[in-house]
Amino acid sequence: MSGCLCLPCYKKKEGTSAAAAKPSIDSQTSALLQKPTHPPLPPSKGMDAVERLKSGFEEFKTSIYGKKPELFEPLKAGQAPRYMVFACADSRVCPSVTLGLQPGEAFTIRNIAAMVPPYDKNRYTGIGSAIEYAVCALKVEVLVVIGHSKCGGIKALLSLQGGAADNFHFVEDWVRIGHIAKKKVQTEHASVPPDDQCSILEKEAVNVSLDNLLTYPWVKEGVAQGTLKLVGGHYNFVDGEFLTWEK
């Protein structure tokens, strides 16, 4: 099963060496946490890793940067993006590619499962400072939160068991930002298969993030004054679909 995040529980069994120890995975969640089956490697995988980056830049410089001075020259003086986009860090869902966003058009934050935490001056200050800068300094007009199909972070959220120990330092605590969405899906769609619950949760987690955005005072003020719009989105790369809705 493919996903942007896998959460095996790495526990070494007694009497086995570190090399021989295998990940111990709770039987109820193993289906959601299996190691992804990787597709055939792209041609770039045969290149040196650094050379791949260099060649990619040379292609960009020749084919795009050098041919669009009308786009890049104004950016030397500053940026004035219309959008702030929250998207997942999954390598398959780059919003600049999927939405055709040009340099200077979107101030973008990417993290596990495109989560937006609630306002808190003592936690998640990286996200808070980005939102504050985008709204108060850059004067963005639209805040967009985009979930996506086959999201491993959402699968991890759905598979978390109450009282179970965390396997990672940060991951589980981060995806718990969406616990309200998880509770809603499990209550309203209890009879739905786990894969379908995941698909529903991908969208409900976006709604929780949109609600959390309103806990930031400058966002709440902007929405009330009509200078800011909150938009939810979902990119289904399996079927090639993109949905949007306004909060």
Active-site entry in 52, 82, 92, 189: 92
Is 38 annotated in a binding site? The answer is no
Is 94 annotated in a binding site? The answer is no
Is 151 annotated in a binding site? The answer is yes
Is 148 annotated in a binding site? The answer is yes
Please indicate whether residue 120 is annotated as part of the active site. Answer: no
Angle in degrees, CA 233, 179, 239, rounded to 5: 30
Active-site entry in 4, 148, 198, 234: 148
Cα 93 to chain centroid, rounded: 9
Please indicate whether residue 234 is annotated as part of the active site. Answer: no
Active-site entry in 4, 88, 198, 234: 88
Please indicate whether residue 92 is annotated as part of the active site. Answer: yes
**DSSP type of residue 64:** T
Strand order from edge to edge, sheet including 106-111? 106-111, 83-88, 142-148, 229-236, 241-246
Alpha-carbon span 84 to 216, nearest angstrom: 14
Please indicate whether residue 151 is annotated as part of the active site. Answer: yes
Active-site entry in 4, 90, 198, 234: 90
3-state helix, strand, coil in the chain (%, to 5): 40, 15, 45
Alpha-carbon span 76 to 207, nearest angstrom: 36
Active-site entry in 151, 196, 198, 234: 151
Please indicate whether residue 196 is annotated as part of the active site. Answer: no
Residues annotated as catalytic are 88, 90, 92, 148, 151
Binding site feature residues: 88, 90, 148, 151
Binding site feature residues for Zn(2+): 88, 90, 148, 151
